[in-house]
Every structure is written in C-alpha cells, then in structure tokens.
Amino acid sequence: MKKIKITPGILALLLVMLFACNEDFLDRPAQGNLDATTLANQDGVEANLISAYSLLDGWGNYGNWGGAASNWIFGSVASDDAYKGSEPGDQQPAADVELYQWATAGALDYLNSKWEVNYDGVNRANATIGLMREVEGIPEEDQTRIEGEALFLRAHYHFEIWKMWGNIPYYTEEDEDFRKTNVGTDALPLILADLDAAINLLPESQAAVGRVNKWIAKAVKGRVQIYAEDYGGALTTLRDVVNNGPYELEENFHFAFDVAHNNGPETVLAYQASVNDGNPNGENGNRNDRLNFPHSGSPFGCCGFHQPSQNLVNAFKVDADGLPFLDGSWDDTDLTPDDPVDPRLDWTVGRDGVPFLDWGLHEPGWIRDRPYSGPYSAKKNIYEQASGASSSVGWATYQLHSLNLHLLRFADVMLLLAEAEIMAGDIENARLLINQIRARAAAAAQGPDGGPVVVPIDDSSITWATYNVGEYPAAGWDAQRAMEALKMERRLELATEGHRFYDLRRWGDLKEVLNTYIAKEQDRRAYLSAAFAVEDRHSLYPLPTVQIELSKVEGENRLIQNPGW
C-alpha cells in the first residue's frame, strides 16, 4: 500500500493558502477561491487535501519548535514528565514554558507557532471542501471521501487548538472574515459535529496508508468526548472501537516505536514521516522533534532537549508484586540499580550503562549539561540504527527520520475507555483493560549491546536492571484504587508522548501535582527555583498577542485574552 508523501511540487501549489501571520492575510479572498487553472480539477483538490495532512506534524515551513504536533514542549516539558534539557539559554522560550512564565515574548512566540500551524491546517481543510464544491466531474464516491477526510482534519486541528486555549474561534468553509471572536463559542460540540459528519462520510478502510477512515474518526471522537466529560458517550464510542475496530496492541511495547512496524495494528492516527523523498531539507521527517536526540558525545551529534525528569524515572519503580507505588512514595528517593522497575522505563528513557536500542550503551558524554538538565535522554523518538531511517539531507540529518509520529495509538484508546468505564462505575472492566496494557509491558525488554534489541524481561543478558510487571488483582480493587491505577498507567504507558499536561488538567490535578513537583525537583534541578507557582490561569495557555492584534475590527479586539494573562 502506498503512503501519503508530501513532495516539494505539491507544497508549491499551496502557497496561495498559507495561513500567514500578517495584515495581508486579512484581505485575502474567501477560502476556495483559488487559481482555477492550477487547482480546479480533481488532482488539485487531492493536492489541497494532502496539504492539510502535511501539517499533522506541526511543521509548515515557517514558525519554530513550538508548533510540534508531539506537544513535547506544551504537553511534556510543561508537566512533570520532562525538563527542557540541553543547557541554560538554549531555546529560552522552552525554558519559559517549563518555568510557567508563559507571558514572556519568547513563550508567546512559541505559542504563536502552535496557533498558526493548526489554524493553517483548518484553513487548508476548509479550502479543500470549498474547492471540491467548485470543481465538476469528481465522482460522487470521491467527493464523499474527500469531504469526510477534510472534516476530520478540521476537527483534529481545532481540537489541538482547543486543548491549548479553550476559548477559540471555529472556522468552516463558509467563513470569509477570519477575525471571528472567541467569546461565546463552545468549540467542543462543533468538533464533535464535524467528527460525526466525518464518520458518516468516511469508508471503513482506505487503500492509501495514512488516510483517515471511519474507525480513526470514531477513536478520535471518543477521545474528544472524554475531554468534554461526556463519559456516557465516550463509553459507547470507545467500546465500539475497542471491541469491533481493526486495532490491537503490538506484540511488545517497542514495536509501537519501531520503523519496521510503522502503521502496525496499534496505530490509530499517525503523521506519515518521510525522508529522502525529494525535500531538499528532509523536513518531512519529524522536523519539529529533531532537537530531542542525545547531544554531541552520542552517535547523533545534537541536541539534548526534552530530557526525562527524575520524577518520571522514579515513577517506574515497582513493588514485589510488580505493581507501581500509587501512594506517591516512589518519589521519596531516586531510583537505584537495586530497585526493580517496569521495563517500559528503558524503552522510554536513555540511562547510563543501559543499551540505547542498537546504538551502543548510553554514556555520560551523551548529555549536554548534566548538572543543569540531568542524566537522561528521550528514547521513544529514536529509531534503530539498523533501520537506516535517517535523512541524507538537511541540518543534523540523524535527527530527521522516517519513524512515524503517533498522534493517537490503541493503548491510549484502551486507557481512555478504562477511564470511561471507571466514571460509569464498571471498575472491573477498567481493571481488565489496564491489565491488558500491563501484560503487554511484560512481554519484552531492551536487549543487550550488540545483541537483539528485544528480549524477554528475564533474559540472562540483562545485567543493568531487574524488571517486573504485575497485574492488578481483583481483591482491593475499588473505585479509588481504579482511578489511581488508571492515572499511573497513563503516565507510564504514554510518558513523554505529550499527553501528561492535558491529562493533569482534565483530572483537576494540575496545581497540586505540578506545585509538588516543582518543590521537590528544584532540589535536583536548581533552575526550577525560578518557576512560577502553578495557578488557575495555567489551565489555559495565553493567546498569542500578535493574534489578538490581528483580530481587531475598527480598533476593537475580537479575540479576548484568557483569564489571568
């Protein structure tokens, strides 16, 4: 099957649709009024649609690292999962986000990139719908599919924007004035309406790998329903996906992050990464995540960002039954070599003396500034050396690669269903779902240097750790323990994947967890003593000031800043 790939030729067609941050944008014609000689045919419509897909990684050949669809800055570094990393002063805006100083010029610039690229995705999806309706001769079946895909992408990009800012304007193909107010608009029902429409229009499967289908739209709908606290609706939607959909867990945890298993059974929605495809800078290869590799002493040469926190590493400790410590005691002391751990630790975190996939042992020299940012490296975004997945062009070629970027995977869907089950009172079904995730975690561990990458967790070659994963027993499994276990399982399974901040917020745990984290971690990382206290205002990011200025109509702002900013 053929992957969707974004070529320079296709991107060249899209300049007329670029959602740029300047005054000229406000005077552009309505979406869909495109060059008829260039785009007014089915190929042009399909090219517009592919251009909308191309922004799923958060990079549109403009902006900065803040646009990353992985949310490594706003979802991970802003949480207790990771430090900014690298060294003091490098990418200061990311440090401002980590320190909850979100009103600085640098932080607002990062936020503006996030705003721009996602509204650009909305714009491209709407332009596709508008253009399709102007073009004659497109078969009805293709029209239905194209509209379904575009509506899904419009919903996806709006949801990413909503997660950041909450109070946002919602744009459709009918809009001509792009200075809509964010006051009085509840975006979640509009997102869900678009997803419902997409579900009705999309086929159950698609020939081209990476294109969305009915099951993807259903899974994303279930996630949005969880965020909307519609647990009854989420229960119905997610049970359908889990029980009847085409997905299943990968055989072992590592395969979910292995190029050889791109688009495997666990993939629900993923950015289709591509390198050596004609793009002269390799920018289809997860460009906005390329800072997150070990630094110059490593085989990668740069850059040492998004380093896992000591708090996260300690969370992987397990008791004699192979279960995590749900009472918070796991962070009383730092992990030692004698502590048994969940094997997902060494699929998630690069640790000294532990094989780093097939790249050799992680060593102290791989860290850019250990006193500043700690001893650990991010690992889930790293491909195996034997895969040959790196780019041959572009800056820091080893950091550009063809490992797909998960935007939603089946383990996440299962845990969302487990959460809905708990909220509905069916804690036993939640236990079974969580235990399936844990049973898969027990299937394999990081293998030895020079040996197979994947081995059983009790393999005799493992000398650097004692791994143990147990399943939760029915005894003592009440509603409180079920929710505690669910929260911990989401952290362990989805660590550093950009979900943590948003999970803490929707659980109502943001202030308590992050202020406790700051108080403890500033003794480990001295720079965190400059962190602001997490307050109610931090539940939503501030709107970029440049966007508020651009929203003015006759001197009045249509975009209103979020409370506290």
Q: Write down the pLDDT at residue 40.
A: 87
pLDDT tens figures, 482-532:
999 999 999 999 999 999 999 999 999 999 999 999 999 999 999 999 999
Question: Identity (one letter) of the amino acid at 339?
Answer: D
**pLDDT (0 to 100) of residue 225:** 98
Range 106-135 average pLDDT: 97
Residue 206 has pLDDT above 80, yes or no: yes
Distances (CA, A) of 15 to 18, 39, 118, 154, 383: 5, 12, 16, 19, 32
CA distance 327 to 513: 13
Mean pLDDT of the 253-281 span: 96
Summarised one tens digit per residue, pLDDT across range 358-398 is: 999 999 999 999 999 999 999 999 999 999 999 999 998 99
What's the average model confidence in pLDDT over 186-205? 98
Asked if residues 250 and 264 have their Cβ atoms less than 8 Å apart, the reply is yes
Q: Which fold has domain 1-246+499-565?
A: 1.25.40
Task: For residue 407, give the H/E element and its range.
Answer: strand 405-409
- How confident is the model at residue 35, as a pLDDT? 53
| Residue 354 CA from chain centroid, whole number | 26
Measured between its terminal Cα atoms, the distance across the chain in Å is: 48
Enumerate the CATH 1.25.40.390 domain ranges in the chain, comma separated.
1-246+499-565, 248-496
Using one digit for the tens of pLDDT, what is the confidence trace for 450-462?
999 999 999 999 9
- Give 232-248 pLDDT, tens digit per residue: 999 999 999 999 999 99
CA atoms within 13 A on the CB side of 158: 31
Rounded to 5°, the CA angle 101-103-559 comes to: 145
pLDDT at 46: 96
Mean pLDDT for all residues in the chain: 93
Query: CB under 8 Å, gap of 24 or more: what pairs does 545-553 form?
Result: 545/108, 546/21, 546/108, 546/112, 547/21, 547/112, 547/115, 550/21, 550/23, 550/25, 550/26, 550/179, 551/179, 551/181, 552/179, 553/179
Report the pLDDT value the prediction gives residue 11, as an integer from 0 to 100. Answer: 33
Residues in the chain: 565
Residue 32 above 80 pLDDT? Answer: no
How many Cα atoms sit within 13 Å of 177 on the Cβ side?
A: 7
Phi (first) and psi of residue 525, to 5 degrees: -120, 100
- Concatenate the DSSP letters of all residues of 254-290 into one string: GGGG-GGGTT-TTEEEEE----SSS-TT-TTTTGGGT
State how beta strands 305-308 and 445-446 pair.
unpaired
Query: What mean pLDDT is predicted for residues 26-51?
Result: 68
Q: Are 117 and 271 in contact (CB under 8 A)?
A: no
pLDDT in tens, 399-434: 999 999 999 999 999 999 999 999 999 999 999 999
Neighbours of 504 (CB within 10 A): 25
Rg (CA), the chain: 23
- Provide the percentage of residues in the chain whose pLDDT is more than 90: 91
| Strand runs labelled E in 325-371 | 349-350
Are the C-beta atoms of 291 and 399 separated by less than 8 Å? yes
120, 60 Cβ separation under 8 angstroms: yes
CA distances from 227 to 118, 172, 197, 315 (A): 19, 22, 19, 25
| pLDDT, mean of residues 341-366 | 98
Query: How is residue 346 written in tokens?
Result: 């060494």
The pLDDT of residue 39 is 77
Closest listed residue to residue 261, CA positions, set 155, 51, 452, 403: 403
Residue 8 has pLDDT above 70, yes or no: no
With beta carbons less than 8 A apart as the criterion, state whether 260 and 326 touch. Answer: no
List CB contacts of 336: < 8 A, sequence separation 6 or more.
none
Buried b vs exposed e over 192-217: b needs ≥16 C-beta within 10 Å? bebbebbbebbeeebeeebbbbbbbb
Residue pair 262/404 in contact (Cβ under 8 Å)? The answer is: yes
Q: State yes or no: pLDDT of 91 exceeds 50.
A: yes
Least confident segment among 35-44, 181-190, 244-253: 35-44
* Residue 102 to residues 160, 329, 505, 517, 558, Cα–Cα distance (Å): 18, 31, 16, 18, 22
Q: Is it the case that residue 13 has pLDDT exceeding 50?
A: no
Give the per-residue pLDDT at 396: 87
Q: Are 84 and 100 in contact (CB under 8 A)?
A: no
Residue 186: pLDDT band (50, 70, 90) is very high
> What's at 434, amino acid-wise?
I
Question: Over 90: is that where the pLDDT of 10 sits?
Answer: no
User: What pLDDT, on a 0 to 100 scale, did the predictor assign at position 37?
Assistant: 62
Residue with more model confidence, 31 or 281: 281
In this structure, CATH architecture of domain 248-496: Alpha Horseshoe (1.25)
Residue with tokens 């055989």: 251
Confidence of residue 125 (pLDDT cuts 50, 70, 90): very high
- Cα–Cα dist 99/93, whole Å: 10
Cα 200 from Cα 257, distance rounded (Å): 31
Q: Over the stretch 432-452, which tens digit does the pLDDT of each residue have?
A: 999 999 999 999 999 999 999
